[in-house]
């Protein structure tokens, strides 16, 4: 990745001036100011719960600041609704997906400003063409006519991106658009965003991956606990500086992987196939081992592990766990046998948004925690407390609804929920998606120490540094086939990418 | 290996076609059920296909279909309108009374009056739902009693009878244009009009969007307040129109007219494939649902089967329709997840 050094000055397209926002007792944002300039990409960084998404929602007209002002083109503006912000030329990609599951992909992209025919009817043909043009620009193949329901997380993310790009906005705000994407898709997104930026749009970009920030952004605003820490040129700061200011202390090594001698084979997958998804997948996992499944988005990584766990069906092959065959399509049996799966789609498959944090953490084990069939608040609370503390989850009270947590903190609750079951084999799909640097190291340390205690871990990850740093072995999938198995020593950025793409990377 | 890869890609290209198929299947199911039912009944009782019998079925369907079209709009928006039976009653009584006292008033005025009364009732519903932030189920349950109560207090124990309203008013519902009853023409026009609005116009697509994900609709900048009002006004106005047609068809109207009709309307919409959780279904599906319910009623009468069975069958159909909803949704999701690889 290369660093862009184009900078511009002149008046800000959009300016945040001393804004604050509280939710009840939680002061999410306090006195934050920064400018967004035309032709510049501006990063907003901070730990989970620092208040980044709250800023986004104020700029988008979803929340109104309690105090402070927003200024567009030098004029004070009040956005009463998302429609107002849209009218002011602000396009937003929210952290959580905002698609209409029943409508077609093309319609999702066009919603709000659909092209019309002379009779003021929806012009489906041009709507479809727009979607196809945007997908071509992003280098993906998604059928514009299919409904949005059932899209993978990555594809949902891409549709969100296409939706934001379709409005030809002057200000493009992206709240963790890359969280679900792998390197190749991120690069494509960046090249599109760079050209928008060079055409004079102002970009605001949020990510927990610092290499993305240095690759795309010229300016960065750092937040901590809802407060503004600094706004600087990216070139004037090292990544370590950014992290230090964001966390407020020095961070130790990012990937403290412990060396573990692998034990007995716990999981044997043989000849697993599912028509049109993956074919003839065989591998073993030993106790104490961390095995990573790498590959491009859509290569079938998640699908394989979902089939192993029994969420998805498979056509042929066997899954043997601790010497016993696991029945297909029976996740409950898999759980009882000692498997746990942290799914890719956490919001939909992992959490009950209206329930409290404590209930969510202990949900899969309600049976084990209940005495005489009743759940006692005390046990539940202690369990939940210990796991959420280990994962540095930021929240008001354990009794708060999970839906009010920041995106990253919701992810932590899902992780806590499954780690608390004490599984023998943990399958994690994107273990650190949306999780900030400080906690990321903590999640890795936790996984590593659990493995040292004899737990087997299979992780699906799109983040190469994570794969290379954590895995004892890397399995690479491409188009539904297991194309490479690399030992820790063999696994390098080049070797994994080469296997994943089937060709040399020319970057 | 290259063989396998091409195979995976071939699968990639299918979803568009196979999906259209699944979607169409929903309405196809109703059509098939209709054909089977009509065939079975006709074989056992040939008079079921007499022109008088067909005419009766169509006339009975027409009013139900008009109300079902409006209800479908509201249900697609993830609301419900339980007040339609009461609105029909209010409109029917009001129009009949006005016609009784103004014998020369043209039919057009009667239609406009009914539509207007219904629209006002709809505005009240929509405003309470949106600005009062109360679930539509609760609001319209309340207005169902309120509108009915209004009619009762106006009518007292009175009724307007067929010989008190002008002849031309009665003739309207029972006369034809080129052999097709006016009632049926109006119902078809309503289905076509509302159907096109929902399918091809922005407002319609926004209503689908609101039903599909209310939260995302707000973020997309859709005018929720206006659209909610529009949906309830359409439902109310069509219930009002239904009231005029009812008065014209039966002539005799009292305060209890249309009592309990809302449940039949909801049943027609659900059986017609409109998802109870909003976001999907079509207007013409709702129309087909109305036809199917009416045909079931007539068929059972012709076959001399107990009334009880009619209710049981309608109940079973509703359960079936809702079950099919879930099934189709799950199946679509699965078949798509299987094929969504790209790059
Ligand atoms: N609707 C809400 N109700 C109550 N509290 C909220 C609400 N939205 C956000 N908060 C709180 O405000 C704080 C900031 O949240 P925000 O979503 O802005 O964090 P963030 O910086 O985007 O974090 P992440 O990196 O995890 O996405 C958090 O403590 C969160 O719990
Ligand atoms: Mg956030």
Asked whether A89 lines ligand 1 (CB < 6 A), one says no
Q: Are residues A155 and A265 in the same domain?
A: no
How far is residue A442's CA from residue A422's CA, in Å, rounded to a whole number?
A: 17
Name the closest ligand to CA A55: 1
pTM value surpassing 0.90 = no
Planar angle of CA B264, B270, B276, nearest 5 degrees: 125
Give exposure, B248-284, as e/b (b: 16+ Cβ within 10 Å): bbebebbbebbeebbebbbbbbbbbbbbeebbbbbbb
Of A80, A7, A71, A79, the residue nearest A34 (C-alpha): A71
Name the closest ligand to CA A409: 1
How far is residue A50's CA from residue B38's CA, in Å, rounded to a whole number?
A: 66
- What does pLDDT average to over chain B? 84
> Which of ligand 1's atoms lies nearest the C-alpha of A56?
18
- Of these ranges, A161-165, A184-188, A368-372, the one predicted with the greatest mean pLDDT is A161-165
- Please report which confidence band the pLDDT of residue A174 belongs to, taking 50, 70 and 90 as the band edges: very high
Cα atoms found within 13 Å of the Cα of residue A261, Cβ hemisphere only: 0
pLDDT above 70 for A375: no
Domains in chain B with CATH codes: 2-9+24-38+47-333 (1.10.3470)
pLDDT in tens, B159-189: 888 888 888 888 888 788 887 888 999 999 9
Q: Which of B217, B221, B332 sits opposite A147 (nearest CB)?
A: B332
What is the percent of chain A where pLDDT is above 70? 92
Mean pLDDT of A119-138: 92
pLDDT above 90 for A342: no
Domain annotation covers residue A138: no
Q: Are residues A224 and A305 in the same domain?
A: no
How far is residue A272's CA from residue A328's CA, in Å, rounded to a whole number?
A: 11
A172 and A204 in contact (C-beta within 8 Å)? yes
Planar angle of CA B48, B50, B56, nearest 5 degrees: 80
pLDDT value at residue A367: 53
Mean pLDDT of B35-39: 87
Which residue from A54, A225, A438 has its CB within 8 A of the most atoms of ligand 1, so it is best to mutate? A54
Chosen domain end from A389, A422, A455:
A422
pLDDT value at residue B332: 57
CB contact under 8 A, B216 and A479: no
pLDDT above 50 for B147: yes
How far is residue A159's CA from residue A505's CA, in Å, rounded to a whole number?
A: 26
pLDDT above 80 for A507: no
Q: What is the CATH number of the domain that holds A240?
A: 3.40.50.300
Q: Of A346-355, B66-75, B257-266, B302-311, where does mean pLDDT reach its minimum? A: A346-355
pLDDT value at residue B97: 92
Asked whether A157 lines ligand 1 (CB < 6 A), one says no
pLDDT in tens, A421-454: 888 999 999 888 888 888 888 888 888 888 998 9
Q: Which of A143, A298, A303 sits opposite B15 (nearest CB)?
A: A143
pLDDT above 50 for B8: no
> Which of ligand 1's atoms lies nearest the C-alpha of A52?
21
pLDDT above 80 for B26: no
How far is residue A115's CA from residue A130's CA, in Å, rounded to a whole number?
A: 9
Of B132, B151, B137, the residue nearest B93 (C-alpha): B151
Mean pLDDT of A287-291: 94
Mean pLDDT of A296-303: 86
pLDDT in tens, A180-224: 887 788 888 899 899 889 989 999 999 998 999 999 999 999 999
How far is residue B251's CA from residue B96's CA, in Å, rounded to a whole number?
A: 8
Q: Are residues A268 and A330 in the same domain?
A: yes
CB contact under 8 A, B221 and A149: no
Using a CB-CB cut-off of 8 Å, the residues of chain B touching A298 are 340-343
How far is residue B79's CA from residue B71's CA, in Å, rounded to a whole number?
A: 9
pLDDT in tens, A229-266: 999 999 999 988 888 888 877 665 556 677 888 889 99
Query: From residue B13, how far is each of B4, B9, B167 by CA, in Å?
Result: 15, 7, 62
Of A344, A324, A343, the residue nearest A334 (C-alpha): A324
- Please report which confidence band the pLDDT of residue A348 belongs to, taking 50, 70 and 90 as the band edges: low
pLDDT above 80 for B6: no
pLDDT value at residue A6: 45
Asked whether A433 lines ligand 1 (CB < 6 A), one says no
| N-terminal to C-terminal alpha carbon distance within chain A | 8
pLDDT above 90 for B88: yes
Q: In this structure, what token pair is assigned to residue A406?
A: 């920041």
Identify the bridge partners of residue A479 per DSSP, sorted by sequence position. Answer: none
pLDDT value at residue B45: 82
Using a CB-CB cut-off of 8 Å, the residues of chain B touching A296 are 343
Q: Are residues A266 and A300 in the same domain?
A: yes
Q: Which of A112, A120, A147 sits opposite B221 (nearest CB)?
A: A112
What is the percent of chain B where pLDDT is above 70? 86
pLDDT value at residue B130: 94
Using a CB-CB cut-off of 8 Å, the residues of chain A touching B12 are 141
Q: Which of B7, B11, B342 sits opposite A155 (nearest CB)?
A: B342
B216 and A99 in contact (C-beta within 8 Å)? yes
pLDDT above 90 for A391: no
Asked whether A254 lines ligand 1 (CB < 6 A), one says no
What's the number of domains chain A is made of? 3
pLDDT above 70 for B331: no
What is the percent of chain B where pLDDT is above 90? 49
Chosen domain end from A390, A407, A422:
A422
Name the closest ligand to CA A434: 1
What φ, ψ does residue A211 adopt, rounded to 5°?
-65, -30
Closest residue of chain B to A103, computed from CA coordinates: B209
pLDDT value at residue A252: 59
How far is residue A220's CA from residue A288's CA, in Å, rounded to a whole number?
A: 40
Measured in angstroms, how far is the CA atom of residue A253 from the centroid of ligand 2? 25
Asked whether A54 lines ligand 1 (CB < 6 A), one says yes
pLDDT value at residue A74: 86
CA A58 to chain centre: 21
Domain annotation covers residue A142: no
B126 and B233 in contact (C-beta within 8 Å)? yes
pLDDT value at residue A395: 82
- Please report which confidence band the pLDDT of residue A21 belongs to, taking 50, 70 and 90 as the band edges: very high
Q: Return left, alpha or beta for A458; rule: phi > 0 is left, psi -120 to 50 is alpha, else beta.
A: beta
Domain annotation covers residue A231: yes
Closest residue of chain A to B201, computed from CA coordinates: A121
- pLDDT: which is higher, A373 or B158: B158
CB proximity list for A361: less than 8 A, separation 6 or greater: A380, A383, A384, A387, A388, A413, A416, A417, A420
Q: Are residues A224 and A302 in the same domain?
A: no
B258 and B144 in contact (C-beta within 8 Å)? no
Q: Which of B216, B218, B343 sits opposite A99 (nearest CB)?
A: B216
DSSP A404: G
Q: In this structure, what token pair is assigned to residue A215?
A: 């690759």
Of B342, B8, B15, the residue nearest A140 (C-alpha): B342
pLDDT above 60 for B319: yes
pLDDT value at residue B126: 96
pLDDT above 70 for A476: yes
> Which of ligand 1's atoms lies nearest the C-alpha of A29?
14
Alpha carbon of A505: minimum distance to chain B alpha carbons (Å): 15
Measured in angstroms, how far is the CA atom of residue B154 from the centroid of ligand 2? 57
pLDDT value at residue B36: 86
CB proximity list for B6: less than 8 A, separation 6 or greater: none
**What sections of A114-227 are H helices per DSSP?**
124-138, 153-166, 183-198, 210-216
Measured in angstroms, how far is the CA atom of residue A23 from the centroid of ligand 2? 15
Alpha carbon of B282: minimum distance to chain A alpha carbons (Å): 12
Q: Are residues A157 and A61 in the same domain?
A: yes
Asked whether A26 lines ligand 1 (CB < 6 A), one says yes
Q: Which of B1, B212, B337 sits opposite A101 (nearest CB)?
A: B212
Q: Are residues A361 and A499 in the same domain?
A: no
- What does pLDDT average to over chain A? 87
Query: From residue B241, how far is each of B95, B189, B213 by CA, in Å?
Result: 10, 13, 31
pLDDT value at residue A114: 84
What φ, ψ does residue A261 adopt, rounded to 5°?
-85, 125
How far is residue B257's CA from residue B235's CA, in Å, rounded to a whole number?
A: 18
Identify the bridge partners of residue A34 per DSSP, sorted by sequence position. Answer: A16
Which residue from A354, A406, A439, A440 has its CB within 8 A of the most atoms of ligand 1, so it is best to mutate? A406
pLDDT above 70 for B14: no
Asked whether A407 lines ligand 1 (CB < 6 A), one says yes
> Which of ligand 1's atoms lies nearest the C-alpha of A176?
27
Measured in angstroms, how far is the CA atom of residue B217 from the centroid of ligand 1? 21
Of A147, A190, A141, A144, the residue nearest A479 (C-alpha): A141
Q: In this structure, what token pair is assigned to residue A5?
A: 């050094």
Q: Are residues A437 and A294 in the same domain?
A: yes
pLDDT value at residue A181: 83
Nearest C-alpha to atom 31 of ligand 1 is from which residue?
A405
Residue with tokens 């069958």: B313
Asked whether A437 lines ligand 1 (CB < 6 A), one says no
Q: In this structure, what token pair is assigned to residue B74?
A: 């509201």
How far is residue B125's CA from residue B83's CA, in Å, rounded to a whole number?
A: 9
pLDDT value at residue B30: 80
Domain annotation covers residue A36: yes
Count CB atoms within 10 A of the CB of residue B108.
8
Planar angle of CA B27, B31, B37, nearest 5 degrees: 145
Asked whether A220 lines ligand 1 (CB < 6 A), one says no
CB proximity list for A348: less than 8 A, separation 6 or greater: none
Mean pLDDT of B71-93: 96
Asked whether A406 lines ligand 1 (CB < 6 A), one says yes
Count CB atoms within 10 A of the CB of residue A422.
14
Q: Are residues A162 and A243 in the same domain?
A: yes
How far is residue B300's CA from residue B41's CA, in Å, rounded to a whole number?
A: 8
CB contact under 8 A, B279 and A299: no
How far is residue B161's CA from residue B251's CA, in Å, rounded to a whole number?
A: 6
% helix, strand, coil for chain A, step of 5: 35, 25, 40
Q: Are residues A46 and A60 in the same domain?
A: yes
Chosen domain end from A367, A388, A422:
A422
Mean pLDDT of A494-500: 89
Q: Of A136-140, A279-283, B139-143, where does mean pLDDT reach its minimum? A: A136-140
Nearest C-alpha to atom 18 of ligand 1 is from which residue?
A51
Measured in angstroms, how far is the CA atom of residue B151 from the centroid of ligand 1? 51
Name the closest ligand to CA A51: 1
Q: Which of A101, A112, A298 sits opposite B341 (nearest CB)?
A: A298
Cα atoms found within 13 Å of the Cα of residue B241, Cβ hemisphere only: 23
- pLDDT: which is higher, A389 or A205: A205
Q: Are residues A214 and A73 in the same domain?
A: yes
pLDDT in tens, B68-79: 999 999 999 999
Q: Of A357-361, A371-375, A459-463, B337-341, where does mean pLDDT reach its minimum? A: B337-341
Using a CB-CB cut-off of 8 Å, the residues of chain A touching B205 are 103, 107, 111, 114, 122
Q: What is the residue range of A470's domain?
A: 251-338+425-507
How far is residue A374's CA from residue A369's CA, in Å, rounded to a whole number?
A: 8
Q: How many CB pairs under 8 A join A and B?
A: 136
Mean pLDDT of A455-466: 90
Measured in angstroms, how far is the CA atom of residue A49 from the centroid of ligand 1? 5
Using a CB-CB cut-off of 8 Å, the residues of chain B touching A149 are 329, 332-333, 336
CB contact under 8 A, A298 and B343: yes
How far is residue A229's CA from residue A4's CA, in Å, rounded to a whole number?
A: 24
- Please report which confidence band the pLDDT of residue A10 belongs to, taking 50, 70 and 90 as the band edges: low
pLDDT in tens, B229-281: 999 999 999 999 999 999 999 988 888 888 989 999 999 999 888 988 889 89
CB contact under 8 A, B8 and A81: no
What φ, ψ does residue A283 adopt, rounded to 5°?
-165, 165
Domain annotation covers residue A4: no
| N-terminal to C-terminal alpha carbon distance within chain B | 18
A373 and A460 in contact (C-beta within 8 Å)? no
Closest residue of chain B to A63, computed from CA coordinates: B219
How far is residue A332's CA from residue A408's CA, in Å, rounded to a whole number?
A: 27
Based on C-alpha coordinates, what's the Rg of chain A? 23
CB proximity list for A224: less than 8 A, separation 6 or greater: A46, A47, A50, A245, A246, A247, A248
pLDDT value at residue B2: 33
Residue with tokens 């799909």: A429
ipTM: 0.82
Long-range contacts of A471-476 (CB under 8 A, 24+ apart): A471/A290, A471/A291, A471/A292, A472/A260, A472/A262, A472/A289, A472/A290, A472/A291, A473/A289, A473/A290, A473/A291, A473/A292, A474/A291, A474/A292, A474/A294, A475/A283, A475/A291, A475/A292, A475/A293, A475/A294, A476/A294, A476/A295, A476/A500
Alpha carbon of B185: minimum distance to chain A alpha carbons (Å): 24
> Which of ligand 1's atoms lies nearest the C-alpha of A47?
25
CB contact under 8 A, A122 and B202: yes
pLDDT in tens, A44-64: 999 999 999 999 999 999 999
CB contact under 8 A, B336 and A151: yes
Domain annotation covers residue A123: no
pLDDT in tens, B202-218: 999 999 999 999 989 99
Domain annotation covers residue A115: no
Give the pairing type, strands A316-321 and A265-274. antiparallel
Domain annotation covers residue A232: yes
Give the pairing type, strands A324-325 and A316-321. antiparallel
Q: Are residues A355 and A242 in the same domain?
A: no
Q: Of A138-147, A198-207, A347-356, B163-172, where does mean pLDDT reach its minimum? A: A347-356
Which candidate in B2, B6, B14, B220 is best for mutational testing of the A interface (most A CBs within 10 A)?
Answer: B220
């Amino acid at each position: 990745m290369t660093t862009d050094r184009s900078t511009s000055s002149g008046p800000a397209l959009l300016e945040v001036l001393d804004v604050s926002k509280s939710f009840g007792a939680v002061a999410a944002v306090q006195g934050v100011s920064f400018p967004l300039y035309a032709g510049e990409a501006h990063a907003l960084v901070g730990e989970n719960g620092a208040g980044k998404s709250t800023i986004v929602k104020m700029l988008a007209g979803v929340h109104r600041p309690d105090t402070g002002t927003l200024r567009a083109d030098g004029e004070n503006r009040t956005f009463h609704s998302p429609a107002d912000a849209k009218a002011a030329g602000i396009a937003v990609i929210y952290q959580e997906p905002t698609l209409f599951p029943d409508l077609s992909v093309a319609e999702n992209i066009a919603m709000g400003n659909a092209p019309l025919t002379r009779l003021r009817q929806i012009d489906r043909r041009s709507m479809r063409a727009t979607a196809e043009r945007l997908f071509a620009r992003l280098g993906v193949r998604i059928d514009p006519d299919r409904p949005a329901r059932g899209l993978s997380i990555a594809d949902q993310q891409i549709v969100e991106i296409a939706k934001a790009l379709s409005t030809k906005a002057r200000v493009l705000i992206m709240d963790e658009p890359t969280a679900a994407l792998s390197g190749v898709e991120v690069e494509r997104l960046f090249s599109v965003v760079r050209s928008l930026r060079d055409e004079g749009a102002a970009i605001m970009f949020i990510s927990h991956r610092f290499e993305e920030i240095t690759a795309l952004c010229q300016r960065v605003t750092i937040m901590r606990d809802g407060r503004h820490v600094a706004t600087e040129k990216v070139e004037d700061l090292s990544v370590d500086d950014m992290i230090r200011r964001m966390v407020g202390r020095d961070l130790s090594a990012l990937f403290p992987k412990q060396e573990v001698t692998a034990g007995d084979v716990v999981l044997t997958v043989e000849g697993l196939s599912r028509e049109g998804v993956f074919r003839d997948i065989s591998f073993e996992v030993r106790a104490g081992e961390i095995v990573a499944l790498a590959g491009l988005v859509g290569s079938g990584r998640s699908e394989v592990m979902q089939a192993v766990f029994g969420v998805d069906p498979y056509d042929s092959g066997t899954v043997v766990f601790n010497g016993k065959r696991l029945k297909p399509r029976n996740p409950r049996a898999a759980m009882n046998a000692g498997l746990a799966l942290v799914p890719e789609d956490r919001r939909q498959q992992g959490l009950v948004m209206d329930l409290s944090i404590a209930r969510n953490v202990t949900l899969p084990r309600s049976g084990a925690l209940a005495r005489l069939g009743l759940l006692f608040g005390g046990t539940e609370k202690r369990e939940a407390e210990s796991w959420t503390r280990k994962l540095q989850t930021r929240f008001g009270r354990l009794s708060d609804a999970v839906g009010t947590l920041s995106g990253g903190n919701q992810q932590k609750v899902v992780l806590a929920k499954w780690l608390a079951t004490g599984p023998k084999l943990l399958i994690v799909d994107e273990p650190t998606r949306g999780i900030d640097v400080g906690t990321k190291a903590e999640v890795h340390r936790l996984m590593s120490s659990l493995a040292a205690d004899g737990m087997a871990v299979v992780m699906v990850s799109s983040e190469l540094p994570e794969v290379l740093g954590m895995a004892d072995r890397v399995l690479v999938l491409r188009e539904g086939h297991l194309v490479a198995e690399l030992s820790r020593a063999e696994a390098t950025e080049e070797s994994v990418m080469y296997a994943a793409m089937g060709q040399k990377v020319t970057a | 290996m290259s063989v396998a890869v091409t195979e995976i890609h071939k699968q990639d290209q299918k979803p568009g076609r196979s999906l259209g198929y699944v979607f169409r299947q929903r309405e196809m199911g109703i059509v098939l059920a209709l054909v089977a039912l009509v065939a079975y009944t006709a074989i056992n009782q040939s008079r079921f296909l007499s022109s008088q019998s067909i005419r009766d079925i169509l006339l009975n369907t027409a009013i139900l279909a008009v109300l079902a079209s409006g209800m479908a709009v509201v249900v697609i928006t993830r609301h419900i309108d339980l007040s339609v039976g009461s609105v029909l009653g209010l409109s029917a009584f009001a129009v009949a009374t006005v016609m009784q006292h103004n014998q020369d008033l043209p039919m057009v005025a009667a239609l406009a009056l009914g539509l207007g009364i219904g629209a006002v009732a709809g505005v009240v519903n929509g405003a309470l739902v949106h600005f009062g932030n109360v679930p539509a189920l609760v609001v319209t349950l309340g207005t169902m009693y309120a509108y009915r109560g209004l009619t009762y207090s106006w009518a007292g124990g009175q009724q307007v009878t067929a010989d008190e309203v002008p002849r031309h008013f009665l003739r309207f519902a029972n006369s034809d244009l080129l052999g097709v009853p006016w009632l049926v023409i109006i119902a078809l026009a309503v289905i076509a009009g509302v159907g096109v609005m929902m399918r091809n116009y922005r407002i319609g697509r926004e209503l689908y969007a609101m039903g599909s994900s209310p939260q995302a609709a707000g973020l997309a900048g859709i005018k929720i307040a206006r659209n909610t009002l529009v949906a309830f006004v359409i439902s109310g106005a069509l219930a009002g129109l239904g009231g005029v047609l009812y008065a014209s068809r039966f002539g005799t109207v009292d305060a209890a007219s249309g009592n309990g009709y809302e449940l039949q309307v909801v049943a027609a919409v659900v059986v017609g494939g409109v998802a109870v959780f909003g976001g999907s279904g079509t207007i013409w599906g709702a129309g087909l649902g109305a036809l199917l319910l009416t045909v079931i009623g007539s068929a059972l009468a012709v076959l001399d089967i107990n009334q009880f069975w009619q209710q049981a069958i309608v109940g079973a159909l509703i359960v079936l329709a809702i079950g099919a909803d879930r099934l189709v949704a799950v199946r679509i999701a699965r078949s798509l997840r299987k094929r969504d690889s790209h790059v």
